Structure 1
Amino acid sequence: MKLDINGTVREVDAPPEMPLLWVLRDLLGLPGTKYGCGMAQCGACTVHLDGKPARSCVLPASSVGARKVTTIEGLSADGSHPVQRAWAEVDVVQCGYCQSGQIMTAASLLENKPDPSDSDIDAALSGNVCRCGTYMRVREAIHLASRLKRGGK
């Protein structure tokens, strides 16, 4: 099957039922998307499908079709995406395991709501679990990323 991953069409020899998560990690060598629960409940495996968050752990690769997949590696090659910059500046990460999923969800939120309220952020990220409890720093980083995207500080 052919998959458009981070702007490059890749030919992948995978069983049709193989979850996109394992195609990304095991077959394409993109380890940034994490396995968390395997049931689409925690958000660690979040990628973008045509710009919208999707849980890759339960998504059969064969169902992706021509949609564009963006992983944390494809968000920006050098970490310059406003959400990544804000994450570092606010020092969101504690253990870091959930962060790629949180960042991908936040990036999608900001594409749809450039200046989200606290309740917008809470609603958008309600399905992303952080066992370390960095939710307040996540919210702060998203507000900062919003300002950075709009050219502020």
Structure 2
Amino acid sequence: MDIAALISWLVTALGGFYMLGTWIQRGGLRQQQSGTSRLPAPVLFGHFALAAIGLVVWIIYVVADRSALAWGAFGLLLPVALLGFVMLARWIPVHRDRATAGTTPAATTAPPAEGAVPAERHFPLAVVLAHGLFAVVTLVLVLLTALGIGGS
């Protein structure tokens, strides 16, 4: 189960890394001053850093098979999940605005300037959903492994 958790964590990390790169490329850092982006940089980078540290701890656990490391990785995943839910809650209105912007008649609405569009609006829905799903799976697998259920 520890290897399944590792694979799930790596897939989750790939989706997260893609979204982080998209956010930076689309001007998320610059948008912090104007308030255009709804994702605060400290929350986003804190989520990323804690998840990366947790992944390293999990890799060390897989190699060393020490239960304290499994619990440490699980402990790191809890604030990662909390920060992820905060970002999801702040992203949903941006996604909804994107969906409703596509339904307004083009003759009455001019497209927004690129700097006025939140960087996170460019996250593909499928990537957000897959990232969240794999994150939940990872959290459950890490907890079950730490509890000693399913062997290591």
Q: Fold-level match, TM-score > 0.5?
A: no
Larger Rg over CA atoms: 2
TM-score (norm 2): 0.29
Q: Of Structure 1 and Structure 2, which has the larger fraction of its residues in helix? A: 2
Higher relative contact order (CA 8 A, sep 6+): 2
TM-score (norm 1): 0.29
Q: Of Structure 1 and Structure 2, which has the larger fraction of its residues in strand? A: 1
